Structure 1
Amino acid sequence: MNSEELYKKAMELESKGEHKSAISAHKEIVNKSNDPRHFIAFGVCLQKCGHWQQSIEVLEKGIALKPHYCEGDARLFLAKALFKSGKKGLAIKQWQHVSKMQPEYPSYESVQNEAKKMLAQNA
């Protein structure tokens, strides 16, 4: 199975709530791929199972691969993982960064608004 087929399989497993099985599929994907989408999706899946530290590592790699690919969304996911792992200061830096970004597809201003909301609640 190629990485796109595995990606579809992982997303299908997630949609069924089978997150642990999806994690296995995502691991296989990122071992074959350098597509930031795959790393970001894997990071989000890890969060659904409470694997915050692993999520940080995967999301950072996804962001580094292609910094402008859904960067605001990816950084929000990263901030959540940082916050949940007790790294509030680093989470705040991510929210600050996102709050100053220009709106982009697909989320437009919702990303910046979410970052500002999180800053107001946690700063």
Structure 2
Amino acid sequence: MSKEQDYQQALKLEEQQDFPGALSVYKKLIEGSDDPRYFIAYGVCLQRLSHWKQSIAPLEHGIELKPHYCEGDARLFLATAYLESGQKKKAIEQWKLVSQMEPEYPSYEHVPDEAKRMLAKYA
């Protein structure tokens, strides 16, 4: 199977609520990869299992790899990981960044609006 087929398989496993199965596929995908989608998806999947601290490194790395789109979404997930792992200050930093971002695919206005909502709640 190609990496893209594996990625689609992992997404399908997530849709079926098989998060441990999806995690094992994502783990293989990130080995030696420079595709930000794999790292971001891996981090999000870890969050679905409430593995907040473990989700931080793959999300940070995915963002460092400069995704073509969904950077705002990834930063919202990262902010949630920071908040849930007791790093509120870092979460606030992410929300501030996201609140200033231009709306983009796939979530458009939802991303900066959500960041502003979280800032109002926690800052």
CA-CA distance at 1:109 after TM superposition:
1.3
Q: Which deviations, in whole Å up to 9, do the C-alpha atoms of 1:28-86 show, x marking residues without a partner?
A: 01114211111111111000011111111000000001155311111001000010000
Query: How do residues 7-86 of structure 1 correspond to structure 2 at under 5 angstroms?
Result: 7-66=7-66, 69-86=69-86
Cα distance change, pair 110–121 in 1 and its aligned pair in 2 (3 A):
same
- Cα distance in 1 for partners of 2:92, 2:67 equals 19
TM-score by length of 1: 0.95
Contact 2:69 2:106 in 1 (8 A): no
Tell me which moved more, 81-90 or 1-10. Answer: 1-10
Contact 1:3 1:33 in 2 (8 A): no
- Cα distance in 2 for partners of 1:68, 1:30 equals 17
Identify unmatched segments of 5+ residues in structure 1: none
Cα distance change, pair 10–82 in 1 and its aligned pair in 2 (3 A):
same
Identify unmatched segments of 5+ residues in structure 2: none
- Cα distance in 2 for partners of 1:80, 1:112 equals 14
- Cα distance in 1 for partners of 2:104, 2:110 equals 9
Total equivalences in the alignment = 123
CA-CA distance at 1:102 after TM superposition:
1.4
Which runs of structure 1 show a deviation greater than 2 angstroms over 4 or more consecutive aligned residues? none
Cα distance change, pair 117–101 in 1 and its aligned pair in 2 (3 A):
same
Q: What is the percentage of aligned positions where both structures have the same residue? A: 58
TM-score by length of 2: 0.95
Contact 2:69 2:105 in 1 (8 A): no
CA-CA distance at 1:110 after TM superposition:
0.9
